[in-house]
């Protein structure tokens, strides 16, 4: 009795294996099967991930009523501090043609910009825009410790400028 069960299990397993092989071969050679089911795409990452801006402080609401507020930018990985300069971090006011002059303090993953005076404003206020250069513009660009350019436009590729705008009201 015990031997009969073993043989029946073995035959059942062999039959299941043959049926599975038949189904696989049939569908692999069948031209009516959609192309999408014949080959599944495999996502690949091409090269190392470029650095990005992780967070910016303060938020727009807090900044709106501060005429001299510093701006902090946090990166998602350690940056090359030598590439973060007044040439690659540009702060402008809509009320002035010249960039805003201020102190730029740089750490491994943070930068801080504090204006020397209040941000230039007109009678209603101003838009304050901070731009971090991630693309070659003649004055350089911001990169991480590995030498990879900032992904400013968040498309997953090195390069592209990061632009963030605040509104200051009077």
pLDDT tens digits, 24-50 = 776 665 555 555 555 556 666 567 899
Token representation of residue 21: 């092989």
Angle at 105 between CA 100 and CA 110, to 5 degrees: 110
Q: Which two tokens stand for residue 49?
A: 């991930």
Q: For residue 70, what are its two tokens? A: 């510093």
Closest C-alpha among 52, 71, 55 to residue 128: 71
For residue 93, pLDDT over 70 is answered with: yes
In the chain, what are the domain boundaries?
A: 2-38, 53-169
> With 90 as the cut, is the pLDDT of residue 144 above it?
yes
94 or 47, greater pLDDT: 94
Q: Which CATH class is domain 53-169?
A: mainly beta
Per DSSP, 150 falls in state: P
Strand partners, 168: 126
DSSP structure class, residue 136: -
Q: Confirm whether pTM is higher than 0.85.
A: no
Quick one: pLDDT at residue 120? 93
Nearest-angstrom CA–CA distance, 168 and 153: 24
The confidence band for 164, taking pLDDT boundaries of 50, 70 and 90, is very high
Query: CB of 166 within 8 A of CB of 64?
Result: yes
Average pLDDT over residues 100-129: 94
Nearest residue to 54 (alpha-carbon basis) of 73, 80, 71: 73
Mean pLDDT of the chain: 85
User: pLDDT at residue 127 above 80?
Assistant: yes
Q: Are 81 and 60 in contact (CB under 8 A)?
A: no
Q: What is the mean pLDDT of residues 75-99?
A: 95
């Amino acid at each position: 009795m015990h031997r009969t069960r073993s043989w029946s299990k073995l035959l059942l397993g062999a039959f299941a294996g043959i049926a599975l092989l038949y189904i696989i071969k049939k569908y692999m050679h069948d031209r009516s099967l959609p192309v999408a089911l014949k080959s599944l795409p495999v996502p690949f990452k091409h090269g190392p991930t470029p650095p990005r801006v992780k967070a910016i402080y303060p938020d727009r609401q807090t900044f709106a009523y501060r005429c001299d507020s510093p701006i902090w930018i946090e990166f998602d990985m350690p940056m090359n501090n030598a590439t973060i300069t007044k040439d690659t971090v540009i702060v402008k006011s809509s009320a002035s043609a010249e960039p805003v002059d201020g102190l730029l303090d740089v750490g491994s993953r943070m930068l801080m910009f504090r204006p020397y005076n209040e941000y230039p404003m007109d009678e209603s206020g101003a838009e304050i825009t901070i731009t971090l250069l991630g693309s070659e513009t003649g004055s350089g660009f911001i990169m991480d410790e590995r030498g990879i350019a900032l992904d400013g436009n968040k498309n997953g590729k090195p390069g592209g400028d990061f632009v963030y705008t605040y509104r200051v009201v009077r």
